[in-house]
Structure 1
């Protein structure tokens, strides 16, 4: 499980004295705790790896946006700190599918669902997330689905 590897990384960072990595791992664990609390009232709880991957992908996206803003604002030291956090977070993400693999998966699901127009985008995206949710950045995937259905 991804969550176990994150906890093990926290212990390893504490033992080695790697303070920047420890801080990033603690941020990840805090976000996961927030998500766990949020899901207490949910009617259905998805698989733990899906939850963790979703949280990690959101964290990476937020930090990439921050990096862009810091670079535009002339703060390269803050951008570098965010980039270091992105590197730590990406260590825990499962291997992502390439764009060609995503397109192939979209075509397969499109055939399974019988999608032919942009009206069927929700069905395709839902099936794609159910099958490959931990391996795909859904933000990029939805744009590819839209292009495939257009």
Structure 2
């Protein structure tokens, strides 16, 4: 079953269960998928859907930071619940040990020795483990290893 089919199935289940939060999140995701189909002019792959889910999770994390700095914890809580609903469609995140091992492996394979090689290392890890880590964490880890 493709990711789009799973999202459609989950949307129907949320609709029947009257789960308004999940229904709204999935409706927004389905709209983003349809927009990608129209913009791209064709089929949307599971990888495209994962990109969209990751983008929506990032938007919600940014919103949480803004709400917390504005003193609106109830809105931050709502965004956190939406992140949980979206996270079910992402592959499991790498543990810090697995991410460190991936960084060490990429540095060794590429022969990276300076901060100038950071982009190559980041690109190699992203290609191998797309959607399984936080970019800020990876960036800090690679930077500390190469400096």
TM normalised by structure 1 equals 0.84
Cα deviations by residue, 1:79-119 (Å, 9 ceiling, x for unpaired): 22212211111121110001111110111111111111111
Q: Distance in 1 between matches of 2:60 and 2:36?
A: 18
> Do the aligned residues in 1 keep the contact of 2:54 with 2:131 (CA within 8 Å)?
no
**Runs of 5+ in structure 2 lacking a partner?**
none
TM normalised by structure 2 equals 0.86
Picking from 61, 73, 94, the partner of 1:76 is 73
Name the CA shift for 1:139/1:63 in 2 (closer, same or farther; >3 Å).
Answer: same
Cα deviations by residue, 1:1-31 (Å, 9 ceiling, x for unpaired): 4333222111111122212110011111222
> Do the aligned residues in 2 keep the contact of 1:49 with 1:134 (CA within 8 Å)?
no
Name the CA shift for 1:149/1:66 in 2 (closer, same or farther; >3 Å).
Answer: same
Within the alignment, does 1:48 sit opposite 2:48 as a pair?
no
Q: Give the aligned partner of residue 124 of structure 1.
A: 121
